């Protein structure tokens, strides 16, 4: 048994040894933690000791040297780094470890990386507001913090060695965890001075290494989690097993907002291996010794449902209401510059629609929960550990310090694991049984109960001068508010959700008169909406950059040259566009291919403070099938920490966005989500994925976000390429193939 910080015993974790082994290198954090955040005002993570550090270190085995919440060094020389941000496939652990290890003067192969326990005070980054991983914030939020944390530790370790030797610290250097005094040829390892270092004064402002001395930052390093994920030793939430655990499969209401009227469980209980049937308000869980037995029994349930108030809800009706709200609703102005500017002589007007989108993570929702009289333990992969604590405390009635959360690797987040609904459900089930329970949602339940990116309606009116340049630009966004649902306290006093105009209010181009506004139109509360990879910019860059293409066409100017002419006062954005054009070879006409209409499209914008550009070339068949032939993407994301990670994010993010533009659409019919799995919510397959060239503009600025910008820029680049190939302007997503077939045009796809 292992003890938590309150002295209570908890069950040791065991993993399915057939495919996972937690004790292998990189397997994850074995020691459990309770929530140590206090009741005081939130104190963000800092590189120096903070209240709560000592208790956290005790819970972590009381290492000899724990100068802050992130670094643990034992007398045996072991080095462990606690990562404040979660690893969900984006390379966050490698990036964070690089920042600490650089200043600590160790290499990544010398350290073990661990998941941070729940604590807003110790691991809540100021840029996020509390402990959460999202918004492409990991490196930009940790850039100063973790380098300083490493520098604090290095200074104290060197100070301890220098004191033992009786020499000035300035005469010492560190290499791979060993402190050298070259004049006397003496050395001491970190482990040898760990205890003494703990008694050294903590530097208030540690001296950071100069950029010219970087050994790790800026180098292409192998990801720290790759070996464990390759050999199966990495532990995801769905892999967890604890002694006495049963597995639960759930059936939830087929309609959004539906409830249970009656359950006949006789056939389910008759299946060998079934342990319990637990009935909630809107779901039924069947527990058994394994998932497949539980799933089979769940399918045997006979449930009579109250379909609820949304039984007739449909996607066409949702978009009709959005369009009506756009015309009649009260608009909140998010940006209004150049008011009174005389309009140009030519008017261009267009309306765009963007659908609801599912997250479609590879690892479906799951959680392992054990509820006992005096404590609750949760094993899960989550982006928001302290939110998990809060909802579990509310559901059990236990104090937060009685809730233990053991975070795991996440098999895809994209914003979905910013939610805690699966935890709330798992806790509700665990409260009604006498054993730990692992709740796993089937892929179909995962799709049906997603927190979807909301649908959007965008209306544009612009006027052009005689040269064809935009003089006035009016953009009205109509949608629900994710921020208002997810964190109402963070909504501005004027009621304007800034996410709804992100990527629209600050275009890179020179436009004399720009007005961007938002009309709030709430979906039924039972239709859950949430953050989706790229958030506001993912929605806004599609209509904004598509409409910019429309203006270029109306002006009779090459779309890349048109954009370039509007960037005279924005050299940084112009450099991104120019590099993309050069790498793609925009000046060279595309080669003709028999049976294909060839076109290429460009899009440029800002997402997560990163300037991002994509150029895509497509071939479109006579039947309307789209073949993406090639793509180039360029980012100005400040200082690059790991070029390998940047390349992977630019490529993977673009594929994610292209998939959504081609097929991404969650639709409602008679109150139910129609899509259920990857056969009807498609993503690009490997043979369909184009060659993607990824580049960055060299920069000495602090890092900016990279995980979400390529997703945000994908759709407009693709849509503009399709227009160049076919003459069909894509104003609704996903792209309707029927509109691209020779001689046809579907509703909403305008042939110019």
Q: Report domain extents, the chain.
A: 2-11+21-228, 237-307+365-440, 544-751
Preceding amide of 734 cis, omega within 30: yes
pLDDT higher than threshold 70 for residue 332: yes
Q: Among 3.30.413.10, 3.40.109.10, 3.30.365.10, 1.20.1530.20, what is the CATH number of 2-11+21-228?
A: 3.30.365.10
Q: CB-hemisphere CA count at 13 Å for 499?
A: 24
237-307+365-440 shares the fold of 2-11+21-228: yes
pLDDT tens per residue across span 491-523: 999 999 999 999 999 999 999 999 999 999 999
Reference 337, options 541, 493, 475, 516; nearest CA is: 516
Place of tokens 């459900």: 425
pLDDT band at 549 (very low <50, low <70, confident <90, very high): very high
pLDDT tens per residue across span 565-575: 999 999 999 99
pLDDT tens per residue across span 195-231: 999 999 999 889 999 999 999 999 999 999 999 999 9
pLDDT band at 57 (very low <50, low <70, confident <90, very high): confident
Number of Cβ within a 10 Å radius of residue 639: 18
Element (H, E) at 2: strand 2-3
Q: Among 3.40.50.300, 3.30.360.10, 3.30.365.10, 3.40.50.10540, what is the CATH number of 544-751?
A: 3.30.365.10
Decide: residue 7, CB within 10 A, 0-12 exposed, 13-18 middle, 19+ buried: exposed
pLDDT higher than threshold 60 for residue 747: no
**pLDDT for res 43:** 66
Element (H, E) at 191: helix 190-197
Strands (E), 289-375: 302-306, 331-337, 346-354, 366-371
pLDDT tens per residue across span 92-140: 999 999 999 999 999 999 999 999 999 999 999 988 889 999 999 999 9
List 380's β-bridge partners, or say none. Answer: 407
**pLDDT for res 51:** 83
Mean pLDDT of 649-659: 98
Q: CB-hemisphere CA count at 13 Å for 366?
A: 29
List 633's β-bridge partners, or say none. Answer: 614, 694
Reference 742, options 595, 599, 630; nearest CA is: 595
Mean pLDDT of 232-257: 96
> For the chain, what is the mean pLDDT?
92
Q: Among 3.40.50.720, 2.40.50.140, 3.10.20.30, 3.30.365.10, what is the CATH number of 237-307+365-440?
A: 3.30.365.10
pLDDT tens per residue across span 461-502: 999 999 999 999 999 999 999 999 999 999 999 999 999 999
Chain-centroid distance of CA 45 in Å reads 21
**pLDDT for res 749:** 60
User: Contact at 8 Å (CB) between 63 and 80?
Assistant: yes
Reference 443, options 361, 376, 356; nearest CA is: 361
Q: Strand order in 172-175's β-sheet?
A: 172-175, 178-181, 186-189
**pLDDT for res 744:** 60
Which positions ≥6 away from 514 have C-beta within 8 Å? 335, 336, 337, 338, 472, 473, 507
pLDDT higher than threshold 90 for residue 667: yes
List 260's β-bridge partners, or say none. Answer: 305
How many helices (H) does the chain have, and how many strands (E)? 18, 32
pLDDT higher than threshold 80 for residue 389: yes
């Amino acid at each position: 048994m292992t003890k938590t910080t309150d002295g209570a015993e908890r069950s040791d974790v065991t993993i399915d040894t057939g495919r996972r082994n937690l004790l292998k290198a990189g397997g994850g954090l074995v020691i459990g933690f309770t929530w140590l955040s206090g009741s005081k005002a939130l104190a963000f993570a800092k590189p120096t000791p903070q209240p709560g550090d000592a208790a956290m270190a005790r819970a972590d085995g009381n290492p000899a040297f724990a100068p802050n919440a992130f670094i643990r060094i034992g007398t045996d020389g072991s080095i462990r780094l606690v990562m404040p941000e979660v690893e969900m496939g984006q390379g966050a652990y490698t990036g964070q470890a690089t920042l600490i290890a650089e200043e600590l003067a160790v290499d990544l192969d010398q350290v073990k990386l661990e998941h941070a326990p729940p604590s807003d005070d110790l691991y809540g980054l100021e840029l996020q507001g509390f402990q959460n991983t999202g918004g492409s914030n990991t490196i930009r939020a940790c850039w100063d913090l973790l380098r300083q944390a490493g520098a604090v530790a290095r200074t104290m370790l060197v100070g301890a060695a220098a004191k033992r030797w009786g020499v000035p610290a300035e005469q010492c250097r560190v290499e791979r965890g060993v402190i050298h005094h070259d004049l006397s040829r003496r050395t001491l390892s970190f482990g040898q001075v760990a205890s003494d270092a703990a008694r050294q004064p903590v530097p208030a402002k540690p001296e950071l290494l100069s950029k010219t001395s970087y050994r790790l930052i800026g180098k292409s390093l192998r990801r720290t989690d790759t070996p464990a994920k390759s050999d199966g030793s990495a532990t995801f939430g769905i892999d967890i097993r604890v002694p006495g655990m049963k597995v639960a499969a759930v059936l939830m209401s087929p309609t959004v907002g539906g409830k249970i009227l009656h359950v006949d469980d006789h056939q389910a209980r008759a299946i060998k291996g079934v342990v319990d049937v637990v009935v909630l308000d809107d779901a039924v869980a069947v527990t058994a010794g394994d998932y497949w037995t539980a799933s089979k029994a769940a399918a045997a349930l006979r449930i009579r449902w109250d379909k609820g108030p949304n039984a007739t809800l449909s996607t066409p009706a949702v978009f009709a209401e959005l369009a009506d709200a756009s015309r009649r609703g009260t608009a909140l102005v998010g940006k209004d510059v150049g008011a009174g500017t005389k309009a140009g002589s030519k008017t261009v007007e267009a309306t765009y629609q963007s659908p609801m989108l599912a997250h479609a993570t590879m690892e479906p929702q799951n959680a392992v929960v054990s509820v006992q009289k005096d404590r609750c333990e949760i094993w899960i992969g989550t982006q928001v550990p302290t939110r998990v604590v809060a909802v579990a405390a509310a559901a059990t009635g236990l104090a937060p310090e009685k809730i233990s959360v053991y975070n795991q690797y996440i098999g895809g987040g994209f914003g979905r694991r910013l939610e805690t609904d699966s935890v709330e459900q798992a806790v509700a089930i665990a409260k009604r049984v006498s054993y730990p329970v692992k709740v796993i949602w089937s892929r179909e339940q995962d799709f049906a109960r997603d927190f979807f990116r909301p649908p959007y309606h965008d209306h544009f009116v612009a006027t052009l001068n005689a040269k064809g340049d935009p003089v006035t630009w009016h953009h009205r966004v109509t949608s629900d508010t994710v921020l208002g649902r997810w964190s109402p306290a963070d909504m501005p006093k004027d009621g304007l959700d800034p996410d709804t105009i992100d990527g629209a209010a600050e275009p890179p181009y020179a436009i004399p008169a720009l007005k961007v506004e938002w009309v709030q139109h709430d979906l039924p509360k039972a239709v859950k909406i949430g953050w989706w990879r790229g958030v506001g910019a993912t929605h806004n860059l599609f209509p904004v950059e598509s409409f910019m293409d429309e203006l270029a066409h109306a002006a009779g100017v090459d779309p890349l040259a048109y954009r370039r002419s509007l960037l005279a006062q924005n050299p940084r954005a112009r450099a991104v566009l120019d590099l993309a054009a050069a790498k793609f070879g925009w000046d060279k006409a595309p080669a003709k291919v028999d049976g294909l209409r060839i076109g290429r499209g460009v899009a440029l914008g800002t997402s997560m403070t990163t300037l991002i550009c994509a150029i895509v070339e497509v071939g479109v068949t006579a039947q309307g099938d789209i073949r993406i032939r090639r793509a180039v993407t360029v980012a100005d994301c400040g200082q690059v920490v790991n070029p390998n990670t940047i390349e992977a994010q630019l490529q993977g993010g673009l594929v994610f966005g292209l998939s959504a533009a081609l097929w991404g659409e969650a639709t409602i019919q008679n109150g139910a989500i129609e899509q259920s799995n990857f056969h009807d919510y498609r993503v690009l397959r490997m043979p369909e994925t184009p060659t993607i060239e990824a580049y960055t503009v060299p920069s000495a600025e602090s890092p900016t976000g990279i995980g979400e910008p390529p997703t945000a820029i994908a759709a407009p680049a693709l849509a503009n390429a399709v227009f160049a190939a076919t003459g069909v302007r894509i104003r609704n997503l996903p792209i309707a193939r029927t509109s691209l077939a020779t001689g046809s045009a579907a509703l909403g796809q305008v042939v110019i």
